[in-house]
Every structure is written in C-alpha cells, then in structure tokens.
Amino acid sequence: MAVIALAGCSGAPGVTTSALALLLSWPLEAERRMILAECDPDGGAVLHGLLQGTLGDRYGLRNLSVAARKNEFGEAFWRQLIDLSSDDGKNESPHDRLLLPGITDPAQSASLGQVWKLLARMFRGIEADHGHDVLIDLGRRGAYGPSGVLAEQADATFVVVRNTLRCLQAAESRVRALEERVGDVGVLMISEGPYPAGEVQRVLQVPVVATLPYAPKDARVLSDGTEQPRHFTKSPLMKAARAGSTALVQRAALRRARLDPRGPHAADEEVTRAR
C-alpha cells in the first residue's frame, strides 16, 4: 500500500478538506486501515472543524513530543488516533479510518523537530508491517522546513491546486521547490476555475493525477462540520474522492517501483497490488 503526502500553496487550495474526503471514501480491503495525519506546522483544523470541538484537544500531535522524550513514541502514537469510521451499515469495521489530529497552536511546532523524523519512520513501518495506507496533510508550509522529511519519506507527494489564475501562479514556485526536495510530484486539482487539467499540466509541468469538483456545500461538511445532507457519501465530491484515491495509490506504487532495484517488472507488481 502507500504513504502519500498532500501539500498546499497560497490561494486557499483546501488541503485538509481534500484529505478528509479521501480518508472517508478510500477503498479499503479487509484488515486494512487508512490513517490521516494532520502534520501542518500552522495547526490542524479537524478537531474544531469536522468534529466541532466535541473532543477538546485531548488527542493529537502535540502529545507525541512528550512521548518521544520518554521513549514511548510508538505506543503513544496509537493512543492519539481518533476513529472516523462510518456506521452506515456497509459492514465497515471500527477503527478502519483513523485521524491523528494536528497541533492546536502554531507555537507548538517548535517542539516537534524530532517528532517529524519519528513520524516519518513510523509511517514507513505502518505501511510495511501492516499494509495500511497513510495520508499526510502537510498544509501550506509542511512540505518545507523540518516537517519536510515527511514528504521526503512518502511514496508520493501531491500538491493540491485550484485551477484559478491566482492559485496557479502561486503553485509554480512551490512545485519547483518541492521537486528539488522530493523529486517528481503530482497535482490533485480542485476544479473551481476555468483552466482544464491539460492547461494546468502545461503551466506547472507536472501531471494532474486526480481531480475533485468544487462543491462548497459538501466541502463545508468536512471543513466546518455542517449538517451532512442525505446521500452525502454518493455526492460528486465523495465519488470523485474515491476515484482519486485509486489514482493516487497507483501513482505512488509506480513511483516506488521505479526506485525499487528488484527489476523491470516491479512497477507492474506494485500497481497490481494497488488496484
């Protein structure tokens, strides 16, 4: 399976909302889990957005810095996860879709220097030992600076971009800087503006791997915890997120296989397992 990082840029791209849509629609095989980690150094949004503050700030990334100093990081990690699995009658097992909430104050990021490295190692171990998928929300700044190690260690990194002129102009320099740090990157496009995927690819010179519709009403369910409309899971946003998750995993599998020294058929084997 895969460790996938999502990074943003200026122009309000909606990284966290996109990440939540992917988490809640990600196709899961039996005994597999999907973990979303809010690793934005500017602070997480889910605790007081989707979850409306109902859990306070008892869970999250900030608690791991204390655990790291006590050499209790591995055990503490699993205790900080919040179960977002649905109970919609689809036989989904509990604890399938898990969230590691981010910090609640950007000032807390100063104490996380070692935590970023431990998390990168933890995510690789989770994927290798358990076959679970990990999605990392890096926000607008998290792919750079100390937390950038998470992007470096991911199987693939994608920049969330809206196809507006303002966002595309902002994204060009971010994409180039990220390519220098992690190698090739892809784009997850939110289709708000007038430019088709082909034009976005031409401007940014990287592939648009998946596209989500611009759907403010449905997005507010995820970003602000507004009341979920009927058939939300079948909305265009969630359908596109499900298709997009498959495309992201396949892209990650191909990239990892290209870097794998096992031989010329490694890519085919990885993609087959990702489907």
The single residue listed with the structure tokens 């939540």 is 20
Specify the pLDDT at position 270.
44
Please name which of 96, 2, 98, 89 lies closest in space to residue 46, comparing C-alpha atoms.
Answer: 98
Specify the pLDDT at position 94.
61
Question: Strands 156-162 and 82-83, how do they pair?
Answer: unpaired
Identify residue 4 by its one-letter amino acid code: I
What does the chain look like in DSSP terms, one character per residue?
Answer: --EEEEE--SS---HHHHHHHHHHH----TT--EEEEE--TT---STTTTTTTTTTTSSSTHHHHHHHHTT-HHHHHHHT-EE----SSS-PPTTSEEEE---SSGGGGGG-HHHHHHHHHHHHHHHHHH--EEEEE-TTTTTSSGGGHHHHHSSEEEEEEESSHHHHHHHHHHHHHHHHHHS--EEEEEE-SS--HHHHHHHHSS-EEEEEE--HHHHHHHHH-PPPPTTGGGSHHHHHHHHHHHHHHHHHHHHHHHT-TT-TTHHHHHHHHH-
Specify the pLDDT at position 248.
96
Specify the pLDDT at position 89.
46
CA distance 225 to 247: 27
Please name which of 66, 22, 14 lies closest in space to residue 40, comparing C-alpha atoms.
Answer: 14
- Which tokens hold the place of 42? 């500017």
Which domains, ranges and CATH numbers included, belong to the chain?
Answer: 3-274 (3.40.50.300)
| Tens of pLDDT, residue by residue, the chain (275 residues) | 799 999 998 877 899 999 999 999 998 887 789 999 999 999 999 999 999 999 988 899 989 988 998 999 999 999 999 999 875 545 455 679 999 999 989 999 988 999 999 999 999 999 888 889 999 999 999 999 999 999 999 999 999 999 999 999 999 999 999 999 999 999 999 999 999 999 999 999 999 999 999 999 999 999 999 999 989 999 999 999 999 999 999 999 998 888 765 543 444 444 444 44
Specify the pLDDT at position 90.
53
- Which tokens hold the place of 19? 């990440």
Specify the pLDDT at position 78.
94
CA distance 116 to 128: 18
Question: Strands 82-83 and 97-100, how do they pair?
Answer: antiparallel
Please name which of 3, 1, 4, 9 lies closest in space to residue 144, comparing C-alpha atoms.
Answer: 9
